[in-house]
Amino acid sequence: MKVLVYGSINIDLTFMVDHIAKAGETIGSISIERSAGGKGANQAASLAKAGMPVYLAGKIGQDGRFLLDLLQSYGVNTDNVVEYEGSTGQALIQIDRNKQNAIVVYSGGNGKITTEEIERTIVQFGAGDLLLFQNEIIHTEELMQAAKKQGVKICINPSPYDKQVEALPLDMADIFFVNELEGMGMAGVPADTPYQAVMDALVKRFPDSEILLTAGKDGAYYGYRNIRERGTIMDVPVVDTVGAGDTFTGYYLAARYRNYPVAKALDIACRAASIAVSRKGAMEAIPFASEVFD
């Protein structure tokens, strides 16, 4: 099985602050750091670090060439990343003293992907392969239709969750990865709904899809028809939560690729995410397979 990640590729600018800036407020930053990011790139890196054959497709400007060098060093195939005359996607990240974050994203190349580029890429994949994408690029419905035509399984991480997600033919998805807020939004339940009830609502809405729900310190949940499983996190000091969900996604898929049962795959993915949040950064914080697998 090959995994195609068609997704966002960003340059992250991270500011360490005392607290997240409020409307109209100007605050100082303790430090600033430029690094690789974007949910697509992060998930591709997680899959590659976990030992999966992974192919990344997307769009960058000349300012993003260093991102490709880094991704290739992890083993990501970037042949389907297109360079154009414009800016790479940018993410401005604030991280406060409690390790919580707020993120502002400029789409850059992520918003310049064409349907022709999608068609040219997707024909390289077929039955038995997997497409993973997020809600940080355009033409996602066309991407889903092209993948289904090729017999490729569809895995959606609907982040950020918005009306654009609900406009997609979501019943085509084979697998969903959602966090608490995304899961509650898609399930149409109140914010204080228990995770198991959220999962039940999601499974009822998408009876033919596997659902992975990440819940921070409460670990992760799995639902498919009448099957329910749960994974637990490791107790670690939290340094940076950016990229934790992307780490989980890559390692869960890699564990299943290695034929681990769902319950074990959940624990492996939670372990990888726990290691990631104990380190600074996003992509660079993702552990390698030797640190995670038994």
Which letter, b or e, does each residue of 89-118 get, where b requires 16 or more Cβ atoms within 10 Å of its Cβ? Answer: bbbebbbbeeeebeeebebbbbebbeeebb
103 part of a folded domain: no
Domain of 57: which CATH number? 3.40.1190.20
Residue 21 lies in a domain: no
Confirm whether 242 is domain-assigned.
yes
**What secondary structure letter does DSSP report for 170?**
G
Nearest to 202 by CA among 168, 231, 176, 172: 176
Query: Residue 178 forms beta bridges with which residues?
Result: 213
14 in a domain, yes or no?
Answer: no
Count Cα neighbours of 64 within 13 Å in the Cβ-side half-sphere: 32
Q: Is residue 165 part of a domain?
A: yes
- Is 279 contained in some domain? yes
54: domain range?
3-9+37-88+108-292
* C-alpha 104 chain-centroid distance: 16
State pTM to two decimals.
Answer: 0.92
Burial level of 238, CB count in 10 A (0-12/13-18/19+)? middle
Domain membership flag for residue 27: no
For the chain, the domain total comes to: 1
3-class SS of residue 200: helix
Beta bridge partners of 231: 220
Is residue 113 in some structural domain?
yes
How do the pLDDT tens digits run along the chain, 294 residues long? 999 999 999 998 989 999 999 999 999 999 998 989 999 999 999 999 999 999 999 999 999 999 999 999 999 999 999 999 999 999 898 989 987 888 888 999 999 999 999 999 999 999 999 999 999 999 999 999 999 999 999 999 999 999 999 999 999 999 999 999 999 999 999 989 999 999 999 999 999 999 999 999 999 999 999 999 999 999 999 988 889 999 999 999 999 999 999 999 999 999 999 999 999 888 999 999 999 998
Residues with Cβ within 8 Å of 202's Cβ and at least 6 positions away in sequence, in order, are 176, 178, 183, 186, 187, 211, 213, 223
